Chain A
Amino acid sequence: MSDAKLKQANSRVVRRLLATTVLMFAFGYALVPLYNVFCEITGLNGKTGRLTDVEAAETTVDMSREVTIEFVTNVSSDMPWEFRPLQSTIKVHPGVETMVEFEAINIAQYEVTGSAVPSVAPSAAARYFNKTECFCFSQQSLAAGETKVMPVRFIVDPGLPQKVKVVTLAYTFFESLNTAETAPQLATPPPS
């Protein structure tokens, strides 16, 4: 190869490989939404579905079958809330819209905002567990010492695999990142 041709060939290789590098860097970031979409389609990671009221009304009811739903609640360790389900288990017929309630208490002396992350086990059931209303759809704010009862309305899809007899719905409350950062300044030290 002549010098000029070699230079040209080298810069072509460098351009292509640098483009690949940038592309792969972007791909690393693209993995974040890709995983989310993948999990929503497959129901992996216990991500639950969401239905509108119209869709809910159209669901067929299977009165011949009963499924036990268990409720589990957690609060992230650095969040000053108490959080519990008002019923620990409930039996439902697939297709029947059911309402359950959860209670959250802010034990801090300042307002705290948080959001709940749901998870369904076994993960095979996640695709068939649909909610029409949930406090996890938006952030929840509680004033100092406030207690709030929050509803969840859900329908178990009749397509739920026959082998699934018990479904566990778990919620974990996390303090929103922005209030978590401002809280220490807002907080007055608790009287000891």
Chain B
Amino acid sequence: MSEAATHDDHHDDHHDHHPSGLMRWITTTNHKDIGTLYLLFSLTMFFIGGIMAMVIRLELFQPGLQFVDPQFFNSMTTMHALVMIFGAVMPAWTGFANWMIPIMIGAPDMALPRLNNWSFWILPFAFTLLLSTLFMPGGAPAGGWTMYPPLVLQTGAAFPFLIFAVHFMGASSIAGAINIIATVFNMRAPGMTLMKLPLFVWTWIITAFLLIASIPVLAGAVTMLLTDKFFGTAFFSAAGGGDPVMFQHIFWFFGHPEVYILILPAFGIVSAIIPTFARKPLFGYSSMVYATGAIAFLSFIVWAHHMFTVGMPLAGELFFMYTTILIAVPTGLKVFNWVATMWRSSMTFETPMLFALAFVVLFTIGGFSGLMLGVTPVDFQYHDTYFVVAHFHYVLVTGAVFALMAGAYFWLPKWTGNMYDEKLGQWHFWTSTISVNVLFFPQHFLGLAGMPRRIPDYAVQFADFNMVSSIGGFVFGLSQLLFVMVVVKCIRGGEKATDQVWEGAHGLEWTLPSPPPYHSFTVAPEPSSIEGGMR
């Protein structure tokens, strides 16, 4: 334990006061409390979105219409995406940022603690609006999470709720992003230079800039939808001189940076975990930082690869194809750096490392199918098929969600002060990893054979792979209950964790006790205790 941390312990005696019970959580401005709230909220949404996925896989278990009507099926695909993207993955990253960034950079708290409270508490309202549409006349939004007009304008009473929910989620994300940028720019401990920041902080800073640049564009696009529907504007209606395809351009100008918002913090987490369990400094730290920046820049000039089939001129298709393929360079560099970090290292395979390794392998598979989709001529065949579904689930489930799991196992002992149950963790890892591949790998074949996405029924030749995929889905869904067991057990007790927790762990957060005191780094850590640069 460092000197600074001891000092904190002592200080806590006088200002560890906060309201108890429910009011503590509603009024809290403490970054650790808010981080916990974000993480628990995201876990709840992960299960709500997961139940929707189970409905989808149940209906697709066999050809024909068995359990739900097509309208409800379409609501499920739409809501599953919205809940998982805006409710599970994005808040989870903000939760990690809240918990970890101040204690990684030696700051006492976030720069704007009240804004922090507000940005979390918008979310439950946003999702109450969104989920309440399930019980409305006309049903929940069913036009796809991409909200393309004119289809989305046919949504019933749910439509304004969808739009305002998106506005609220956006406001929450922007507030969170502003807070994170202010924290990292202004609150770093003396000696914590930018190129000493842990990579998780770096990737989050870049993510925060992506959020601030792209979410307002989404807000604009959905506001245009709202005024088209209720106030007689014609942004996307040809009858009034507008153009429905323009929505796609504006939406994906947000949408492509959004996919990097979902994955960049994952790169940061994996870059923290692999060196820890390989017991070697990260290979190519500064190239990792520049690669992240390059990916972020490229993400703004590739958007039309989501819409190759709308009828673009050849020059446009070539431009968006080349820029898309170019992203493989910085991304490939990252994968090489992770592999190089592990090369000739003394690795051990605790649960966080297993999830991080699975991330590297499976995310790369998702990256490869992304390259295939980025090649214009073949995209015409793959567009809107299950191949696309397989691709983005490899990058989002075995990518983003696996990194979230890895990060949760990595820092759970730090958060709770107790070691998690390693045996249960290993069970969770192996059941998840096997079942997720059974779930999504066959969807590549289904897509190549031409099965369209977002349709509740399919031709009989797709039956076998769909059944396999559904079985994988049910096992994957159930195995996430193991994760809840691990978390509950770990919060309740277990073997006491040391300050450093992992033998190979480096960084300021590991100099604090486990769990860290309610207020940490009220006195900045000694500059000599900052190693940085390598993790």
Contacts and interface: CB of A to CB of B under 8 A. Distances in A.
B322 interface: no
A25 B219 contact: yes
Contact of B238 (A1, A124, A174, A180): A174
Interface stretch (B246-254, B373-381, B488-496): B246-254
Given A25-B217, A25-B219, A28-B221, A14 B112 contact: yes
A24 B239 contact: no
Contact of B212 (A20, A42, A177): A20
Interface in B194-222: 212-221
A115 interface: yes
Interface stretch (B49-57, B174-182, B280-288): B174-182
A32 B220 CA distance: 11
B178 A177 contact: no
B216 A32 contact: no
Contacts of B182: 9-10, 13-14, 17
* Interface hub of A14, A21, A23, A124 (most chain B Cβ within 10 A): A21
A28 B249 contact: no
Given A14-B112, A14-B178, A17-B181, A27 B186 contact: no
A24 B238 contact: no
Interface stretch (B229-237, B334-342, B387-395): B229-237
B527 interface: no
A117 B243 CA distance: 10
Contacts of B311: 123
B216 A9 contact: no
Interface string B293-313: 000000000000000000111
A35 B247 CA distance: 11
Nearest to A124: B313
B216 A21 contact: yes
Given A1-B186, A18-B178, A31-B253, A24 B237 contact: no
Nearest to B112: A10
Interface in A77-129: 114-115, 117, 123-124
B79 interface: no
B137 interface: no
B220 A28 contact: yes
A13 B186 contact: yes
B261 interface: no
A9 B186 contact: yes
Contacts of A32: 224, 235, 246, 250
Contacts of B332: none
Contacts of B235: 32
A41 to B, nearest CB: 13
B346 to A, nearest CB: 41
B178 A28 contact: no
Interface residues on A, range: 35 or more
Interface string B357-381: 0000000000000000000000000
A164 to B, nearest CB: 14
A162 interface: no
A128 to B, nearest CB: 15
Contacts of B124: none
B239 A35 contact: no
Contacts of A175: 239
B217 A28 contact: yes
A83 to B, nearest CB: 14
Contacts of A22: 216
Contacts of A18: 178
Chain B interface size, as a band, is 35 or more
Contacts of B249: 31, 35
B185 interface: yes
B186 A6 contact: yes
A178 B186 CA distance: 54
A31 B182 CA distance: 29
B241 interface: yes
Interface string A148-192: 000000000000000000000000101111101100000000000
Contact of A44 (B177, B221, B313): B313
Contact of A176 (B112, B218, B240, B246): B240
Contacts of A114: 239
B178 A76 contact: no
A176 B239 contact: yes
A172 B238 contact: yes
Nearest to A17: B178
B221 to A, nearest CB: 6
B234 A10 contact: no
Contacts of A123: 311, 313
A113 to B, nearest CB: 10
Given A13-B181, A25-B220, A28-B219, A177 B111 contact: no
A181 B178 CA distance: 43
A44 B177 CA distance: 37
A45 interface: yes
Given A21-B212, A35-B246, A29 B220 contact: yes
A27 B212 CA distance: 12
B214 to A, nearest CB: 7
Given A10-B186, A31-B249, A35-B246, A21 B174 contact: yes
Contacts of B212: 17, 20-21, 24
Contact of B178 (A9, A13, A44): A13
Contacts of A29: 220, 224
B120 to A, nearest CB: 18
20 contacts: A6-B111, A9-B185, A10-B111, A13-B182, A13-B185, A14-B112, A18-B178, A21-B215, A22-B216, A25-B216, A25-B217, A25-B219, A27-B216, A28-B216, A28-B253, A31-B253, A44-B313, A45-B245, A172-B238, A174-B237
Given A14-B182, A31-B250, A44-B312, 15 more contacts: A9-B186, A14-B112, A17-B212, A20-B213, A21-B174, A28-B217, A28-B219, A29-B220, A32-B246, A44-B316, A45-B243, A115-B239, A117-B238, A117-B241, A172-B238
For the complex of A and B, the 5 pairs showing the least CB-CB separation, nearest first, are: A28-B220, A174-B239, A24-B216, A25-B216, A28-B217
Interface of B: 111-112, 174, 177-178, 181-182, 185-187, 212-221, 224, 232, 234-235, 237-241, 243, 245-246, 249-250, 253-254, 311-313, 316
